[in-house]
Structure 1
Amino acid sequence: MNDGSAFLNENAQRIADGMVRDAERLRLKVSTGTLGERLIDAGADAAGSIEAGLRMAEATMGGLGTISTVMDRASGKWPFQVEVRSSQPVLACLASQYAGWNLSGGDYFAMGSGPVRALARVEPLFSTLSYREKATASVVLLETAKPPPPPVVEKVAKATGIAPENLTFIYAPTQSVAGAVQIVCRVLEVALHKANDLKFPLENIVEGIGAAPVPAPHPDFLTAMGRTNDAIIYGGVVQLFVRGPADQAKELADKLPSRTSRDYGRPFAEIFKHFKGDFYAIDPLLFSPAEVLVTAIETGDTFRNGGADLPMLEKSLG
């Protein structure tokens, strides 16, 4: 697990290359930046698409996630859902997909996600994760409407030792179709991140699957951000398969759902306004799925807690 391979990055590079080949079908715009970096616009000036959002999510998971869509009539007003599963959930979600690298600079704000993070290893999270990679090319995903300016490209190049011409930046704003899809595809990732915050042994999480409704995109950033977060917080469901004692699995199931947070019970956009746009003032335990199942594979027990909050989805998703 710590052999210095380029597993996640090679997978993501393959997916990004496929996006370039299918750019017309996916409604993408591909260009080259001033430092030679490859830019894939999936929803800013480009129209983008649902499939582009799914490909973005696959790239951010380093190719270790299987993502599908479903129209589930039992879900009422929000039948369009994504399902994400991984047999390497810790690597896929925490070493790669989590948007934990601050790539802001000047008036440019963006959090970086994708396998490039396993190369840079500049986040506190990597004090927990021993995994590391070496690669000659990498992929960065940015939730933003603008391509990265040269100082950001240089920052990534310096931190990873990869020349700008071997870096691919895929970007799409939250307000776009692709942006909304790839954010909701993080339903499993938020469960893994919260499990880490709860000090559950990550090496004991061996399988994961999650699903959440995909809301309609909205032109207003705050509304769009609120909808994508609420889709997970009030409508997401995750099942984790874990090793270890059944009582540890039960404790995780009891603590993991979003309703255990002090900030649960209001639309995310409203919570964001209350804290004056300060993400770090929001209780981090809010960022988790609404419903959780934890299966202790060594005893055969499954523990369940939480549930979809339809009134809150009605308020947010409309």
Structure 2
Amino acid sequence: MLNQEAYELFEHTCDYAENFGLRLHSVAGGRLLDAGVQTPGSLDAGLLLARLCMGDQADIAIVPADPDRFVTSNHVHVRTDAPLWACLGAQYAGWPVQTDDFFAMGSGPMRLLRGREAALKDLGLAEEGPIAVGVLESDKLPGESVFAHIAQECGIQPDGVHLAIAPSHSIAGGTQVVARSIETAMHKLHELKFDVRSIVSATGTAPLPPPSKPGDMVSGIGRTNDAMLYGANVTLWAEADDQAIESVIEQVPSSSSGDYGRPFAQIFKGYEYDFYKVDPMLFSPARVTIHGLRSGRTWIAGRFNTDVLRESFLG
């Protein structure tokens, strides 16, 4: 049960919240870990948020990167042997959490309790239980109405809701977003009608961009997306036929999209800051490798784009 696994991590973290640059709040009987709204947060806090997003089903670390290629000296590296549940079941930001005075994109295993998303239904991913753990991306702390809303959607009491929050322009928020390299590949493959249940293991790296200035959500969103679109590298191990892999491999990387080639902040502005107008096929890693376990063959597609990373991170 991913919510239970994430809850145990959440519970342990509460005892050491200040050590991670976190601030703990009690809301409607539930708990909220602020990792970047009213506190500076930290890299450790970002790794924690990423682990919570994935239901604690992955190893996540900050590792060295080649600054000449990726314009930053750090990568966020993710490894999981449960990519279906960890990425599509939990990590995907598929829940727009909205009340009269609050909006955030919601991730984490709490989505499995809600169970309304089409992808979750398609893949038979669901949980039941009294505890919901989630991560919100916002620069505003949620109040009691948000906890009540999430509890109602998940069919539990508000005191069973446990949330962590950080904006994308913060250290922690940027780190947890960049930890989504595998998830973007998995989601793209599902959209391409590839059987993602055949993927048994996965690794992913993406450059950790410099944070944008406080309050600049567009730059924060732009840099974290660019890290994925132009610098992420994902490897998947799939128990699938060669034909199935060959039919999709060239379409998986971000370079297959017509919107590819400019910093995401520019693309976003061109669509009047409406995510739903951006080509959905853009949201995927720069480079993807798939190892076919049935034949022993390997496919590689996509490329890194240092020029766009430099313009985004340093421009």
Normalising by the smaller structure, the TM-score range is over 0.9
Q: Which string of whole-angstrom CA distances, capped at 9 and with x for unpartnered residues, describes residues 60-101 of structure 1? A: 101111111112346543120011111110100001000101
Show the counterpart of 2:111. 117
Show the counterpart of 1:213. 207
How far apart are residue 199 of structure 1 and its match?
A: 0.4
How far apart are residue 182 of structure 1 and its match?
A: 0.2
2:233–2:285 CA contact under 8 A, matched in 1:
yes
Show the counterpart of 1:277. 273
Name the % identity.
38
How far apart are residue 150 of structure 1 and its match?
A: 2.5
Larger mean Cα displacement after TM superposition, 18-27 or 234-243: 18-27
What SS is found at the alignment partner of 2:231? Answer: coil
Aligned pairs (5 A) from 1:167-246: 167-219=161-213, 220-246=216-242
Aligned pairs (5 A) from 1:1-318: 7-33=1-27, 35-73=28-66, 76=69, 77-219=71-213, 220-318=216-314
Q: Which string of whole-angstrom CA distances, capped at 9 and with x for unpartnered residues, describes residues 145-165 of structure 1? A: 222233321121112122111
Q: Which string of whole-angstrom CA distances, capped at 9 and with x for unpartnered residues, describes residues 118-159 of structure 1? A: 001011222212121112212111001222233321121112
Q: Which string of whole-angstrom CA distances, capped at 9 and with x for unpartnered residues, describes residues 192-227 of structure 1? A: 110100000122111111100000111221111100
Q: Which string of whole-angstrom CA distances, capped at 9 and with x for unpartnered residues, describes residues 280-307 of structure 1? A: 1100110000001011011110100111
Structure 1 length normalisation: TM-score? 0.95
Whole-angstrom distance in 2 between the partners of 1:25 and 1:208: 31
Whole-angstrom distance in 1 between the partners of 2:35 and 2:50: 12
**Aligned Cα root-mean-square deviation (Å):** 1.2
Whole-angstrom distance in 1 between the partners of 2:154 and 2:240: 36
2:65–2:207 CA contact under 8 A, matched in 1:
no
Letter in 1 for 2:48: R
What SS is found at the alignment partner of 1:110? Answer: strand
How far apart are residue 106 of structure 1 and its match?
A: 2.4
In structure 2, relative to structure 1, the CA distance for the partners of 1:25 and 1:301 (3 Å cut) is same
What SS is found at the alignment partner of 2:234? Answer: strand
Whole-angstrom distance in 1 between the partners of 2:192 and 2:126: 23
What SS is found at the alignment partner of 1:288? Answer: coil
1:249–1:295 CA contact under 8 A, matched in 2:
no
Stretches of structure 1 that go unaligned for 5 or more consecutive residues are 1-6
What SS is found at the alignment partner of 1:126? Answer: helix
How far apart are residue 104 of structure 1 and its match?
A: 1.5
2:37–2:141 CA contact under 8 A, matched in 1:
no
Whole-angstrom distance in 1 between the partners of 2:67 and 2:308: 17
Larger mean Cα displacement after TM superposition, 245-254 or 214-223: 245-254
Aligned residue-pair number: 311
Letter in 2 for 1:272: F
How far apart are residue 169 of structure 1 and its match?
A: 1.3
1:252–1:294 CA contact under 8 A, matched in 2:
no
Whole-angstrom distance in 2 between the partners of 1:145 and 1:315: 25
Larger mean Cα displacement after TM superposition, 112-121 or 153-162: 153-162
What SS is found at the alignment partner of 1:169? Answer: strand
What SS is found at the alignment partner of 1:9? Answer: helix
Larger mean Cα displacement after TM superposition, 257-266 or 122-131: 122-131
What SS is found at the alignment partner of 1:145? Answer: coil
